[in-house]
Homo-oligomer: A and B are copies of this chain.
Amino acid sequence: MDMLWNGWGDPAKAAPLPDSVTGLLRDLLGVKPRSTPALALEDIEPPAPTAGPAALAALAEAVGDAAHVRTDPESRIRHTRGKSTPDLLRIRAGDTSDVPQAVVLPATHEEVLAVLRACAAHGLAAVPFGGGTSVVGGLAPERGAFVALDLRRMNRLLDLDTVSRTAVLQPGLRAPEAEALLAEQGFTLGHFPQSFEWASIGGFAAARSSGQASAGYGRFDEMVLGLTLATPEGTVETGRAPRSAAGPDLRQLILGSEGAFGVITSVTVRVRPLPEARIYEGWRFASFEEGAAALRRLAQDGPRPTVLRLSDETETLIGLASPDDVGTSLGRSDAGCLAVTGYEGTPEETAHRRERAAAVLTAAGGTPLGAEPGERWAHGRFSAPYLRDALLDVGAFAETLETAAFWSRVPELYAAVRAALTDTLTRAGTPPLVMCHISHVYENGASLYFTVVSAQGEDPVAHWTPAKHAANEAVLAAGGTISHHHGVGTDHRDWYVREAGELAVEALRAVKRRLDPDGLLNPGVLLPTD
């Protein structure tokens, strides 16, 4: 099944905006519903490809069959940009300026190498395409004609080592497919980001994804034990041991490289036994500050839940932690801040960990709300992006952004980003609702994930851009990282260069030049072009 071409997720799950949300928009933001529908697919005409028959023939030869080189408008439109709100707004309006020349579907590492050679020979750039879920402009290269290198045919579990608890996965496996293959043999990866239903293993690695159970299972980059990278200059193979002192960790050079150094063609990951027991619960804290302190206690001194999240006052009031409930509890003045804790493992270990964590949370001021809020969160955990499409249909705007910092910096970072978003959009005449949650905790810091809802401006992308830039500036000024788990893409690149520093970026560009001397891989994504 293909994702909705101009929005999020399973087209069958698309639904109009719930009345509760319509009321919320009207009452809180003064957004009166108006019809702002997307164009129909058949009304969008991408420009004819400039890549000639020789280039297409070379690509077909690389993948062994012309059927795996697609140039039909629908295939090209479906591989145009990713799933950020600006991406959706552009494609809904029929803007095909970032359309690929063709969509190429290799089935093996060798075919990927051959595609890259064909691209080099014909002056085409190549953009690796997994689930197509980038929300940072990671699929919109900066210049030139390019092909989308769709990895969906590389969707096998290549190996499962039950002694070492490692699995070798192909990059085009979507997360549910990977989980299903592992579950057949009793294992799980434990990686459940909000994009779970659509995102791919290769994309998780390339963009350093982090899932909702990261407190227990770790970030995706912590799960990766080995990677194979196909580059225009050949193959890089990494990962002979879980840890090594043999030089810099090359895996960590490939993780986060966002297709700029090469195409990830296999990923060796750690796997764990499928949990026998699962418990999700809700907790109430009087304030975000109090709740954050409680989360910090668990992150630093344990025991560590498998899932650990905390919504701020606004997100709790709106009910965004459980998208089906948005707007239904508005007006409760005692909502406080909702935390969700989850525990997975063996029944005995899970029960014991839960009991000790509950004692810590209680001591930190938390009030247990029982299983219901936890289960509601778990039920709706992948639903929020669907809501966005309905908002875009009625003249509203919704977008998310995220960062992370050391614990001592978190309060300032939270305040600074909220202020930047609120001030910019209010000055522009569309006062926003800014919600936030902590969804990933570490001993030394935490992530902050912001959701912004406002009225659309006349030109919605141009209207949003200054707010996004102001948020980026606030992140850097307050000591945060420009992305905790969405990545850099083209949207964050200029701020990434400032965060990493010119010399470090120059070192990475030296790597790129060595692996990709023609600069054909994702030009302008992650790293500036020359």
Residues of A near any B CB (own CB < 8 A): 161, 163-166, 207-210, 219, 221, 225, 231, 233-238, 240-258, 261, 270, 272-273, 296, 300-302, 349, 403-409, 440, 442-445, 479-488, 492, 496, 499-501, 503-504, 506-511, 513-515, 526
Contact = CB atoms under 8 A, between A and B. Distances in A.
A314 B103 CA distance: 60
Contact of A231 (B445, B479, B503): B503
B483 A246 contact: yes
15 contacts: A164-B406, A164-B407, A164-B408, A164-B409, A210-B245, A219-B243, A221-B249, A234-B503, A241-B406, A244-B404, A246-B500, A247-B496, A302-B349, A503-B515, A510-B510
Given A164-B444, A257-B247, A526-B247, A241 B405 contact: yes
A57 to B, nearest CB: 28
Residue among A237, A240, A403, A500 with max Cβ neighbours from chain B (10 Å): A240
Nearest to A251: B252
Contacts of A514: 506-507, 509-510
Nearest to A300: B165
A245 B487 CA distance: 5
A248 B257 contact: yes
B207 A245 contact: yes
Give the number of times this chain occurs in the complex, counting copies: 2
Contacts of A208: 244-245
A60 B237 CA distance: 45
Nearest to A404: B241
A503 B488 CA distance: 25
B248 A508 contact: yes
A238 to B, nearest CB: 7
A443 B161 CA distance: 12
A238 B500 CA distance: 7
Residue among A210, A225, A481 with max Cβ neighbours from chain B (10 Å): A481
Contacts of A243: 210, 219, 221, 404, 440, 442, 445, 484
Contacts of A509: 514
Contacts of A500: 238, 246-247, 250
Nearest to A442: B242
B503 A235 contact: yes
A240 B166 CA distance: 31
A267 B82 CA distance: 38
Residue among A234, A270, A301, A504 with max Cβ neighbours from chain B (10 Å): A504
A7 B273 CA distance: 48
Contacts of A164: 406-409, 444-445
A99 B232 CA distance: 43
A504 B408 contact: no
A250 B273 CA distance: 32
A479 B221 CA distance: 22
A194 to B, nearest CB: 14
A409 B479 CA distance: 43
Given A164-B445, A246-B256, A247-B508, 5 more contacts: A163-B296, A209-B245, A225-B406, A250-B504, A253-B253
A342 to B, nearest CB: 18
